[in-house]
Amino acid sequence: MEYSAVSTSKGYSEQFVDVEGNTTVSKEEGTLGLKMFQALNYYITNSVSTGTPIDASIASSIAYNTGNGFLDLTGSGYDLSALSGADFSIMDRVASSRSNSEIEAAQANLELLFAKLEAASQSLGMTAEINQAGKLGNYLLDEQGIELAQVLQKSLIGAYQLDYIGNVLLTTGLSADNSTLVSSENFTALEHNWDVAYGMLTKKEIYLDGYTESQKGEVSEFGLGAYLWEYNKSGYPLIYPAFLRGRVAIVNNDLTEVEKQANIIKAEMEKALANAALGYLGKWRTADSDDRRAHAIAEGIGFIYSLRYATTFNADATFSDLILLNLVGSANGFWDLDAAKISAAETAIKAKFNIQ
């Protein structure tokens, strides 16, 4: 297949077809995984916005896709039967590139966040202050002033999206068979891994279709796909061409080119999360009220946690955890923050990711 045969102005699936003209792309598994993440986020954020306490067992059921799980999200607008009928879960894929002990630690961290969010949500009628969970402006904070819903969402961008796309599908997944078709399908295992990676990044056939340099499209991207656009302005235009060229290379069985394009995608995703972490640390500086500062730092915390999965830049849990400990590891967390702690976190991230 000629590389010139694909175009960034055309949809992903329509450009890869078999001799009968049927698409060889099946990215539904990836899209389903992305929707699972959105549905969990819906439960957490909708409960807070409506003043309904969080139930950690429901959040856990959604994350593990067990019990009622997604079926508890009536009114969310998602195809709940499709989500609950999937043969995998968010927790199956959290930190799945790592050792068993790291996987267990990541899952335990999410369970702890669910439990802490449930506890904090019992104080929705209170005003947040030192040692008191409650609302500050529109945000629900725990007793340390941490907006756990944002920490959870941004942590999953790294532990779920970045790790599974970058460190599984586009790393170990590149060794999948590319010589025979998957049983009853018209694609190889390697083609499928690549397509699932694309589907887990974006639901759009053309990534960021309708977006401009400064304006979001009519349907906003979610998670990693959105932050690539927002926090890596030089890198996000490389993503769709890399996915297309890499897919052509798979058709041609040119594994050197496949790996080259995968490395482009991984590096740009990781840069986006590093820049997002820096961006929210910066917003703590510029915010004009405590509620906005708390909101900004919670997003920053989640992104800093996510940096442990930035393997292109050799970041790891030790790197991430040390920054978080120095930033909000004191007894009063957010309430103890000062400019020196923010600066130390910024310096560490910039050094690791070669950001000037």
- Residue whose pair of structure tokens reads 């995984």 in the numeric block: 33
pLDDT band (50, 70, 90) for residue 75: confident
Give the pLDDT score at 114.
Answer: 97
Which residues is 23 bridged to in the sheet?
17
pLDDT band (50, 70, 90) for residue 161: very high
Phi/psi at 135 (5° precision): -90, 140
Q: What is the pLDDT of residues 285-331, one digit of tens each?
A: 999 999 999 999 999 999 999 999 999 999 999 999 999 999 999 99
Dihedral sign (CA 64, 70, 72, 76): positive
Q: Which long-range contacts link 227-235 to residues 24+ away (Cβ below 8 Å)?
A: 227/157, 227/272, 227/273, 227/276, 228/201, 228/268, 228/269, 228/272, 230/272, 230/276, 231/272, 231/273, 231/275, 231/276, 231/279, 232/268, 232/271, 232/272, 232/275, 235/267, 235/268, 235/271, 235/272
Q: Per residue, what are the HEC states of 198-265? A: HHHHCCCCCCCCCCCCCCCCCCCCCCHHHHHHHHCCCCHHHHHHHHHHHHHHHHCCCHHHHHHHHHHH
